[in-house]
Amino acid sequence: MSICMICNEPLIMKDRIRPNIGTFECGHHFHLSCILTYSKLKMTTDCFKCFPSKVRNLPNFGEDRLIAMESLIDARSKMKKTENNNTWFNFNTTLQSMVNLGTALTTIKLKGYLPEDFIEKGISWKSLNKIYTVDSLLDFGFRWHHMIVMGFKPKDFKSLNWHHLSAVLDLKAADMMQTSMNIRDLASLNLEAYQLNELGFTWQDFVNMGGNATNMKLLTNDFQDFKTYFEPSQEQLFEAGFTEEKKQLYKNVAPKKTRKLKINGMVF
């Protein structure tokens, strides 16, 4: 008796009568209900047995976006397979080989590739960022929902500037915390208190990221910044360890160096 390898329950097959049975070209059988659920969950049309490592696990961006991304990836994948079957020496024209060779993104775009193709091929954001500039990747069309799927890590924020964060990607605190960043990761970005406020960070966010009276000095040396932009209550301050003694330490720290911005020859 055959067994469905997904649920480990018997497959009812008698001659040509096969109710609720799905069969792949490779010959493997599964319960139709099992393989449909599996395919939707893992966003793949590959056989559960033959290609267990090729499934895609995407974060929850909402049902509509997941369905749209899944459909586009599958459609692009089928199109590329058709192109490769009609192309000689196609090894030299694969997306991964072009990336490894440092082929200009404008050239890759002219060949019809989209960010979803990089996701489908399992190309990480880290590997792309080693070869291409952030500006060129954003000009190509990569956006936050692509980047997070491609394994964007807290340390990768260091390659982004304020314009990337606020204007191009339109990131908010909730987006950035998807990467499981901690208070030191956030501090390493050297953002001003007003910028953190514009991104939507709250006092509770800082605490949830491991912030306390000691390490929150990394965000700002001026205790007044916290009161002005994040308005913590006395209870919240106490819970984070901000005793009167700790508050005095902020007043004795050298002023934080600010970065200068040069636009059209003028320094701000």
Q: How many other CB atoms are found less than 10 A from the CB of residue 106? A: 10
- Rounded CA separation 60/148 (Å): 11
Helix (H) or strand (E) holding 13: none
Q: With beta carbons less than 8 A apart as the criterion, state whether 207 and 177 touch.
A: no
* pLDDT of amino acid 211: 94
DSSP string, 133-193: -HHHHHHHT--HHHHHHTT--GGGGGG--HHIIIIIS---HHHHGGG---HHHHHTT---H
* pLDDT per residue of the chain (268 residues) written in tens, 0 to 9: 688 888 888 887 776 666 678 887 788 888 888 888 877 776 677 788 887 654 445 555 555 555 565 555 565 555 555 555 544 444 346 899 999 999 999 999 998 999 999 998 899 999 999 999 999 999 999 999 999 999 999 999 999 999 999 999 999 999 999 999 999 999 999 999 999 999 999 999 999 999 999 999 999 988 889 999 999 999 999 999 998 888 777 765 445 444 444 445 554 4
Enter the pTM of the model: 0.61
Residue 107: what pLDDT?
Answer: 94
Domains of the chain: 1-55 (3.30.40), 56-152 (no CATH), 181-268 (no CATH)
Return the amino acid letter for 118.
F
Which pLDDT score, from 0 to 100, does residue 218 have?
Answer: 93
**Alpha carbons 193 and 220: distance in angstroms, whole number:** 7
